[in-house]
Amino acid sequence: MEIITKKGETIETYKASDEQKTTGSRGRKVGTAYQLENGEIIYVPD
């Protein structure tokens, strides 16, 4: 999983390691995000 955020001109990325994905010890899934054709991102909580 990769998370990309942009604040002004700064772009930050975060990649979860395989260990974090399989153990779930660092967090849990709280929803799903969809990117529309126009680039807009919609978040749907679980």
pLDDT for the residue 37: 92
Report CA dihedral (22, 23, 29, 35) to the nearest 10 degrees: -30
Summarised one tens digit per residue, pLDDT across range 9-31 is 888 888 876 554 455 567 788 88
Residue 39 per-residue DSSP state = S
Question: Which pTM does this prediction carry?
Answer: 0.40
| Residue 10 to residue 14: CA distance in whole angstroms | 13
The full set of domain ranges for the chain reads 2-45
- Find tokens 């010890």 and name the residue: 25
Residue 3 pLDDT > 70 = yes
Residue percentage of the chain with pLDDT more than 90: 9
- Could you tell me if 34 and 42 are in contact, meaning their C-beta atoms sit under 8 angstroms apart? yes
Query: What does the mean pLDDT of the chain come to?
Result: 79
pLDDT for the residue 30: 87
| Residue 44 to residue 30: CA distance in whole angstroms | 9
